[in-house]
Structures are given as structure tokens and as C-alpha cells.
């Protein structure tokens, strides 16, 4: 449904759908999964569609890889002339700014990678499953400071999807529905911000989730402390820290210590990225993060299934553009 070589109409034809009443091919990247689910829900709610399949299929390893020759993004003309030709290069600038503003060290980034690797060890879909210690992490060479390979997402060939339908129809299906209780998306503008030039971003130590946080919780009629777990977009390790803090799930500058204390583990206050995240399971533009949220809410998380899994916050997007959802297990 977004940024894919397989169009929505093509997928519909391949599935043998008798009629296609709604289609959307969104030219977004990692910000899109939660937003695409929101668009699908609006189509169902307004009667434009009965069922919407939100999918992502990506040849991230065998096809055109991000930052390689042949890959272009909307901001490429602004970044490439000054040498930022690959995502780790310029997202490293955001990560470093976050570290400076919050006092987070390399070990803080390492805590993200280590915590998610523990989940990945029991996720058969994960491509990175070897145990990881802080010593292992600190011994690894930099890809671009402050990122080591463990801080960077794993590019893979893969696909996943979620089906969005009405609650009445969902209740007739095999699995307990994951109900969309809240949603938000933003590309902040004004005050000199311009999405075509990310260098105008006011504060590189926060991302878009800080801007739509209040709208998300208002739409869900919940507070951050009401959710049982979180699935946070993680193309690079500091994005998890920014996401947790941006949604108000932890306080400013507290995310690294929160993770180090084990609070994002299966028995912690807020289990997070229970599939091992994009860092370990693989990079499908974050659609697999949304899929993991749904599986957990439905009680289908396999070996990593959480005991308490009624409500979840899930995010998409690393920096300027982003979207988020709040999902809840159907109580009916």
C-alpha cells in the first residue's frame, strides 16, 4: 500500500478480488505504516471499503538498497551534495544531538540493541538472533559515529500485512480483534520548518512523535500510562529513545536508564519491541512493527507473547515525519 513496487491494484488482481472499491499507493517510507492503517480505517468507516489490506513487500537486500546507486528520496537533492548519501550518515547527526542534549552515552544506545536482541533470540523471523552483551556492543566498529552495526536496522527481503475491517466483521473472524482506539500523523511545519530541507528542523534531539503526542492520546481517550506495551519504530537505536520520550511513555532523557533497568523486557513496566524490532527482525519500513503489535494484542505473539497485552502504542517514522496508533484488545 505504500512505497511498493507492487501496486495496490496489482495486488488486488493477484488476489483475485471480485471488486476493488478503494486503493491507495502512498509514496511514504517508514512514516507510513501507522498512517496507512489509519487511512484504511477511514475508508472502512466511511463505507468506501469493507476490507482493506495494508501491506509492505520489500527487496531490501537483493534489490535497490537504501543509500545505494538508484535509490533517491525526496530530500536527496539537499543531502547528497554535502555528502549525506546514506541514512546512517545524517541520522547519526540526530542521534548525536539527542545524546548531547540528554547526556546519553554510547552505552545508552547499546542498551536498546541488547534489550531487543534478547527478544529476537526467541523470534524465528529475526535475522539477528545471536546473544549480545555490552562488551560485544562496545567492541564493534563504528559504521558512522555514534552508530555501530548493532545500532542499524537489518535490510531484508520480506513482506507482511494487516487486514483492516469493521469491528462487527472482525468479531466474526477467528482471532480476537485489535481495535484502533487512537491515531495521529504529523509533518510539523511553521517556525521555519520545511520538509524539503531537514536542516531547518528546530531540535534534532526530538522527532515527530513529540509533536503529535497530545493528539494521539486525546484521540484514544487514554494516557501514556494506560498502555501495557509499546512497539516503537527503530531504524536506528536512538529512534527508540526519541519515540518512548516523544509519546510521553518515559520522561525526557530517561529512556536509556529505563531500558537498562529492564523495564522494556517481558517482565518490565513497558515491554517494547517484542519482535526484536527492525534492528533484529528486519527492515520492512516498519510494517512488521505494526504487525507485531496486532499479533501481541490478539495473543498470537508466539514464544514472546506477553502476559499483559490489552493495550499498545505503536509508532512509524524516525525523524521529521511520523505516525502512531493506539490499539486495544476487543473486550466483547
Write out the catalytic residue numbers.
233, 283
**Distance between CA atoms of residues 113 and 237, nearest Å:** 7
How far is the C-alpha of 128 from the C-alpha of 281, rounded, in Å? 7
Residue 109 cell numbers, joined: 544506545
Q: Name the nearest CA neighbour of 285 among 149, 162, 182, 158.
A: 158
Say how far apart CA 40 and CA 50 lie, in whole Å: 10
Q: Contact, 119 vs 112, CB < 8 A? A: no
Residue 126's nearest CA partner among 325, 313, 274 is 274
C-alpha cell at 185: 500523523
* 94 Cβ contact list (under 8 Å, min separation 6): 204, 205, 207, 238, 242, 318, 319
Calculate the alpha carbon distances from 286 to 110, 244, 267 in Å.
21, 16, 24
User: Helices in 247-315 by DSSP H: which ranges?
Assistant: 255-260, 277-280, 287-298
Please state, in angstroms and as integers, the Cα–Cα distance from residue 327 to each residue in 178, 186, 222, 226, 247, following that order.
6, 19, 11, 11, 14
> How do strand 311-316 and strand 229-231 relate by DSSP bridges?
parallel
What's the CA gap between 292 and 321, in Å, rounded? 21
Amino acid at each position: 500500500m505504500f512505497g511498493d513496487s507492487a501496486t495496490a491494484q496489482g495486488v488486488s488482481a493477484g488476489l483475485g478480488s471480485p471488486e476493488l472499491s478503494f486503493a491507495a499507493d502512498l509514496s511514504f517510507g517508514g512514516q507510513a505504516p501507522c498512517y496507512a492503517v489509519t487511512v484504511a480505517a477511514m475508508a472502512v468507516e466511511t463505507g468506501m471499503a469493507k476490507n482493506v489490506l495494508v501491506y509492505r513487500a520489500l527487496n531490501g537486500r537483493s534489490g535497490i538498497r537504501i543509500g545505494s546507486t538508484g535509490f533517491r528520496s525526496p530530500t536527496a537533492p539537499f543531502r547528497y551534495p554535502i555528502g549525506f548519501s546514506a541514512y546512517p550518515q545524517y541520522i547519526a547527526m540526530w542521534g548525536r544531538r539527542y545524546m548531547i542534549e540528554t547526556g546519553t552515552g554510547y552505552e545508552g544506545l547499546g542498551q536498546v540493541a541488547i534489550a531487543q536482541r534478547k527478544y529476537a533470540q526467541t523470534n524465528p523471523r529475526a535475522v539477528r538472533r545471536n546473544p549480545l552483551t555490552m562488551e560485544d556492543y562496545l567492541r564493534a566498529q563504528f559504521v558512522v559515529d555514534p552508530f555501530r552495526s548493532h545500532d542499524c536496522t537489518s535490510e531484508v527481503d520480506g513482506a507482511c500485512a494487516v487486514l483492516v475491517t469493521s469491528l462487527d466483521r472482525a468479531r466474526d473472524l477467528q482471532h480476537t480483534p485489535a481495535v484502533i482506539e487512537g491515531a495521529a500523523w504529523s509533518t510539523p511545519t511553521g517556525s521555519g520548518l520545511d520538509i524539503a530541507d531537514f536542516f531547518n528542523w528546530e531540535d534534532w534531539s526530538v522527532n515527530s512523535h513529540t509533536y503529535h503526542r497530545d493528539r494521539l492520546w486525546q484521540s484514544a481517550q487514554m494516557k501514556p500510562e494506560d498502555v501495557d506495551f509499546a512497539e516503537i519504530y527503530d531504524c536506528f537505536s536512538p529512534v527508540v529513545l526519541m519515540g518512548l520520550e516523544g509519546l510521553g511513555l518515559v520522561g525526557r532523557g530517561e529512556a536509556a536508564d529505563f531500558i537498562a533497568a529492564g523495564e522494556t523486557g517481558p517482565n518490565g513496566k513497558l515491554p517494547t519491541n517484542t519482535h526484536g524490532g527492525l534492528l533484529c527482525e528486519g527492515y520492512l519500513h516498519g510494517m512488521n512493527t505494526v504487525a507485531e503489535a496486532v499479533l501481541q494484542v490478539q495473543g498470537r505473539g508466539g514464544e514472546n507473547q506477553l502476559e499483559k497485552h490489552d493495550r499498545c502504542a505503536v509508532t512509524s517514522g524516525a525523524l521529521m515525519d511520523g505516525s502512531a496508533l493506539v490499539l486495544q484488545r476487543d473486550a466483547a
